[in-house]
Amino acid sequence: MLKIKGGNSMLSQKRILITGSTSGIGRETAKVIASYGGYVIINGRSNKRAMELQEEIGSNNSSIYLFDITDRNAVSDFIQDCPKLDGIIHCAGINRIIPFGFVKFEAMYEMFNINYFAPIMLTQQIFKKKKFNENASIVFISSIMSIVGEGGNTVYAGTKSALVGSVRCIALELAKRKIRVNCISPGFIRTNMTDSEIEINEDETKNVISLHPLGEGMAKDIANLCVFLCSDNSRWITGQNYIIDGGYSIR
Amino acid sequence: MDKFLNLVADILNREENSISFQDDFREYNEWDSLAALSFLAMINEEYDVIISRRDFDDMITLEQIYQYVENQRGK
């Protein structure tokens, strides 16, 4: 029987893997999930940053598994080792701004590999090895670029839209196992995802923020919905794409 | 040098003879943030030079950019 919990114990007994949790939205999400009683599996590539995060949220309610989600061997080692999960939040991702005329296959493959292929295959492997508990919840962090466009984002928008399309199909297939699958599409959130050779300057950043009627968003704004989607309170929600963008897309 | 101006004209969709080295390129009507990104991508693709955003924002004329690219390539 499903027990609906609220308050700080909303996620008690929930063990949740958060990819890319050593920085940006993933890091904040890990902290918020833990604050609602969830057990967090920290994942990333930097041991130093993972340790720092674990120090903040405590080692009673977290463990660290460092691996690169695009490395298939590392992923299968992780799945062998890992305990059963009640959820995954896919936060690992990159954004490179590439004007359409300069798109190259290699850059396209790299971005799709990290943003789309790896999270989909990681989810599939965990599913196949029966490492999901019943009522598990899977959340993919997509982007507002899955529903609106912006110059320079041809490839990024492709990877994030692809997630939204696949999520509906995976949700249908996993529904009979009572596993739910959803996307969250954030507007512009300032993080250190400056993994780009072409940098955006401060004026351009301010300009993008000014297009959000509620002003600048924070990673926490995304993390709060992750909490709800990982909790049993969202038991009848699956296959959806939630827009959190401070009103960016409503004009 | 002609090739450089050609490439810049191409990005901005302007006639080649409407562009000169002394121009403050940010004054062109066609200049916007996407043009800036395309400009930096072009320099990376054609000259294998990455201009940091800070350096780029400090330069005013096409000649300064061209000199910067030539210096970086010489290294």
What are the 10-residue block averages of pLDDT along chain A, 251 residues in total? 70 96 96 97 95 96 97 97 97 92 95 98 98 97 96 96 98 97 95 60 85 95 98 97 97 91
Inspect the interface and report whether the beta carbons of A200 and B38 lie closer than 8 Å: no
Contact yes or no for A115/A65 (Cβ under 8 A):
no
**Least CA distance to B49: which residue of chain A?**
A197
**C-alpha dist (Å) from residue A111 to A39, A45, A196:** 30, 17, 11
ipTM summary value:
0.80
Q: What tokens does B64 get?
A: 């300064």
Its pTM stands at 0.92
**Using a CB-CB distance cutoff of 8 angstroms, which residues of chain B are in contact with residue A97?**
37
Q: How far is A194 from chain B (nearest CA, A)?
A: 12
Give the dihedral sign, CA A219/A220/A225/A230.
Answer: positive
A116 belongs to the catalytic site: no
Q: Contacts of residue B42 in chain A, CB cutoff 8 Å?
A: 102
Nearest to A99 among B37, B52, B57 (CB): B37
Distance CA B63, CA B69 (A): 10
Instruction: Tell me the shortest Cα–Cα distance from A210 to chain B, in angstroms.
Output: 15
Q: A23: burial class by Cβ within 10 Å (0-12, 13-18, 19+)?
A: buried
> Is A224 strand, coil or helix?
helix
What local confidence, expressed as pLDDT, does residue B37 receive?
87
Question: In the β-sheet with A15-19, what is the strand arrangement from edge to edge?
Answer: A62-64, A39-42, A15-19, A85-90, A132-141, A180-186, A241-244
Marked catalytic residue, from A39, A156, A242, A248: A156
Instruction: Give the three-class secondary structure for A51.
Output: helix
* Tokens matching residue A183: 């996307």
For residue A115, the model assigns a pLDDT of 98
Q: Which residue of B has its CA nearest to A207?
A: B33
At A235 the pLDDT is: 96
Nearest CA in chain A to B33: A204
CB-CB under 8 Å, A197 with B50 = yes
Tokens 């009572």 correspond to A178
In the prediction, which pLDDT does A194 show? 47
